[in-house]
Amino acid sequence: MDARQNSVFSNQMTLTNDGIHYVGYSEDSTSSTVVDTEVARLRNALQPLIQPGKGPLSLKQLAEDISKPAELEAEATTTIHTDLVKLLWKDDWKLDISMAGGYSGKIDATMVAHAIAAGIQFKNIQTREEAISKNFEATFSWIFRKEPPKKDDVPMWSSFPKWLEDDSENVYWITGKPGSGKSTMMKLILQQKSFWEGLPQSTGSLRLLLVKYYAWLSGDTLQKSLEGLKRTIIFQALKQYPELLPVLTPRRWAFCQVLRSISGLPMWEAWEVEESFEALLSSCGETIKLILFIDGLDEFDMPPIQLIEYIRYMKARCHTGLKVCAASRPWTEFQDEFNEGPRLQMHLLTQDDIRTFITEKFKTNRGFLEQQQLSSEAATQLLADIAHRANGVFLWVSIVVQHLLALFSEGQLISQAWQTLEALPTKISSLYDTIWASIREENTPDASFMMQVLRAFDRPMPWLTAWVIEESRFNPTEIISIPQDRSSWDVALRSLKRKLTALTKCILEVSGSENSTAVDFIHRTARDWATQPKKWQSICSSFSGEFDPQLCILKGETLILSLECGPESPFPKGEVLDAVPRILWHASEVKDIPQNTEDLLVSVRKLGVLWTDAYLAQARNELRFNGGSKPRLWRKRPTFPGLVAQFSILPYFRFLALSPSSFSS
């Protein structure tokens, strides 16, 4: 195609049901010459970033030079944006300190910091913290005593306030049996605002930077990896101290300063996360004192010794500029590393908190209160026995209390509750066996169904997905009415909570904050128990019918996405483009058998329409962002069949082979 032919190429987007062919546009030679001249001027203005010491003395002045004349051709802006990204993200680029002074008056430093922080965070960055069940809450205020009580003339735990104040590099280790409340302790320490506000916000010339990371083996990759840890720390550092921007993210800071905009920043890659984290470590002891809380060392998806070695590395880099408080199960590797330093063993210290928890729960149950009036002494002894048998394990007492309260609600006597308590094992895994055996026979198929679906989902399941999947068992998906207002959402959520409690006796639960409520096993120990090969076989055999959990997930997720992406929906198109591949993964796991084919194809084709619509909407937004001036040549984009091919969903391609008109290349 010659230049003249190219100049009349129309700006059409060619669509089919399942993809996009090609996008192009037109331009005339006169505007091209003007744009080329402007691009040359802008590129010349960038020379100080390439050769420090030549040209403007600051990024602020450089931004002013680039923005003249005020009305730039949109195409020139696009080109200079591309050039700037290539320049600033070169491996060997460094910020010239002599240029770093001053902020552009057109852009707020805090806004830039928050925008860059938003880019490095990941979707589920707070999910684990929010999922720590309120069932296990206690005050744990004793941790803040400067002088812990003694037993046999030895402090019962290491003083946490003294550890914070001293200059030692020792890790403060919170350990204990599974379910003893380690994560709850970490969360409540960090929520004690009165304690932290009482501390000086700086130590000498060092500013105090308090950050936290909750590792979660059941979560996504970034919830259980060093990269996730680093992203979380950088995110929190930028939110607390926006002035750290030029130090931690010089490339992004320079980009925003020069263009006077927070739009168009590239995605974070692992090497840049590492670069920023190293810059943060270099600042520890120089300008900041980092207090880092890591919950769940045993929840990282990596060998414990590698994690221990990285903590050693951070300590060596930062010296007295870093304090680490970590929580984990008492695995041998962690005992060898941390046992000689300051520590706290949860299961030895929570007796008073457990008694308080039990009392608070039982005093709200009408059935128990009636029995207490009839036999006060027996009721008091029952509560004392529950606390004694818990052996400091909050998870055990939480499950047992819920189980006994349900019996009192059914009108049972204290003597009957006592017999039930005596029959319950104190070992957590055995307790789950007993709880599972107590589920009514008519409910075990439903409990098995939900547990199989949750395990196939392989991460905490959004409550609405679980609700839709459960509803679709008894109603065709096309007639399911998704809750549309807050009142309906609350009713549906309460209904799901009630059903899970009845069906699984609290082995599965709904937890989390308002914006990230999810269904999951009550604790990691419950997942470990259920997924033992023999136990899992027994759970699955409780459901006598045939079903494919991955197909249930595919249909449920597709239905929710299609309703969220209606014509008037504000649902971000970029999130649709991210959601479709995630759902296609479940489609790829559906068994390739005849009875699954129709439902599979219906869902995948719906996803094709959603993906295409979202892609086109985003393309139009990019054109508007560029002021209506179109790039010189729109490159060919992946089609939806091309996306599906990455997941090897064979039934879809057999369908396309029989219906070639549905295929786009």
Query: What whole-number distance in Å separates Cα of residue 574 and Cα of residue 618?
Result: 7
Which parts of 330-489 are beta strand (E)?
343-345, 461-462
Is position 456 within any domain? yes
Residue 575 lies in a domain: yes
Q: Does the pLDDT of residue 514 top 80, yes or no?
A: no
Any domain includes 72: no
What angle do helix axes 250-259 and 59-66 make, rounded to 10 degrees? 40
Domain boundary among 358, 391, 426: 426
Query: 595 exposed, middle or buried (CB, 10 Å; 0-12, 13-18, 19+)?
Result: exposed
Q: Tell me, yes or no, whether 267 and 365 share the same domain.
A: no
pLDDT interval class at 290 (50, 70, 90): very high
Enumerate the β-bridge partners of residue 172.
325
Tokens of 201: 């916000």
Q: Which residues contact 237 (CB under 8 A, 6 or more apart)?
A: 209, 211, 244, 248, 280, 288
Task: Answer yes or no: do 540 and 416 share one domain.
Answer: no
Query: Which pLDDT belongs to residue 135?
Result: 53
CA distances (Å), origin 212, targets 181, 233, 324, 327, 333: 17, 7, 10, 12, 22
pLDDT band at 589, cuts 50/70/90?
Answer: very high
Domain finish residue from 545, 566, 600: 545
Encode pLDDT of 60-95 as tens digits: 555 555 555 444 455 556 666 777 788 888 887 777
Q: Say which residues have a Cβ less than 8 Å from residue 504's Cβ, sequence separation at least 6.
A: 439, 447, 450, 451
| 264 belongs to a structural domain | yes
- Residue-number span of the structural domain to which 500 is assigned: 427-545
Domain count of the fold of the chain: 4
Do both 171 and 235 map to the same domain?
yes
Instruction: Calculate mean pLDDT across residues 276-296.
Output: 95
Q: What CATH number is given to the structural domain containing 163? A: 3.40.50
The answer to whether 147 touches 198, Cβ cutoff 8 Å, is no
Q: Which residue has the higher pLDDT, 568 or 262?
A: 262
Q: Verify that 384 and 253 share a domain, yes or no.
A: no
Tokens representing 208 are 């105090």
Q: Is the peptide bond before 69 cis (omega within 30 degrees of 0)?
A: yes
- Top pLDDT among 108 and 251 is at 251
pLDDT tens per residue across span 323-351? 999 999 999 999 999 999 999 999 888 88
The last residue of one of the domains, among 303, 332, 348, is 348
Residues 285 and 366 in one domain: no
d(CA 233, CA 579): 26
User: Tokens 């309460």 belong to which residue?
Assistant: 494
Assess whether 296 and 159 both reside in one domain. yes
Establish if 369 belongs to a structural domain: yes
- CA gap 301, 321 in Å, rounded: 27
Same domain, 271 and 315: yes
Average pLDDT of the chain is 82
Q: Looking at the structure, do residues 272 and 397 belong to the same domain, yes or no?
A: no
Burial 101-121 (b: 16+ CB within 10 A, else e): eebbeebebeebbbbbbebbb
pLDDT for 399 beyond 60: yes
Has residue 40 been placed in a domain? no
Task: Provide the pLDDT confidence category of residue 516 given band limits of 50, 70 and 90.
Answer: confident
Calpha distance 155→168 (Å, rounded): 19
Which two structure tokens, joined as six digits, stand for 297? 């060392």
How many of the other CB atoms lie within 10 Å of CB of 202?
11
Comparison of pLDDT for 144 and 4, the residue scoring more: 144
Asked which of 66-75, 146-155, 184-193, 571-580 is least confident by mean pLDDT, the reply is 66-75
Burial class (CB in 10 A: 0-12, 13-18, 19+), 431: buried
Q: How would you classify the pairing of strands 172-175 and 206-214?
A: unpaired
Which one-letter amino acid corresponds to residue 53? Answer: G
Quote the DSSP letter at residue 440. Answer: -
Which structure tokens are listed for 167?
């200059």
Examine the domain organization and report whether 326 and 222 are in the same domain.
yes
Beta bridge partners of 203: 206
pLDDT at 262 exceeding the cut of 60: yes
Residue 44 within any structural domain of the chain: no
> Do residue 202 and residue 313 come from a single domain?
yes
DSSP secondary structure code for residue 284 in this structure: B
**How is residue 21 annotated by DSSP?**
E
| Confidence label for 626 from pLDDT (cuts 50, 70 and 90) | very low
Using pLDDT thresholds of 50, 70 and 90, give the confidence band for residue 489.
confident
Q: Is the dihedral of CA 297, 300, 304, 307 positive or negative?
A: negative
Q: Per DSSP, what are the bridge partners of residue 23?
A: 13
pLDDT of residue 120: 92
Could you give the CA distance from residue 402 to residue 255 in angstroms, rounded to a whole number?
55
Nearest-Å Rg of the Cα atoms of the chain is 30
| Structural domain includes residue 80 | no
Pair 519, 412 in one domain: no
Verify that 433 and 484 share a domain, yes or no: yes
Token digits for 117? 């922080």
- Percent of all residues in the chain with a pLDDT value above 90, rounded to a whole number: 49
- Token couple for 431: 């307790």
Q: Do residues 404 and 367 touch, judged by C-beta distance below 8 A?
A: no
What pLDDT score does 481 carry?
Answer: 72
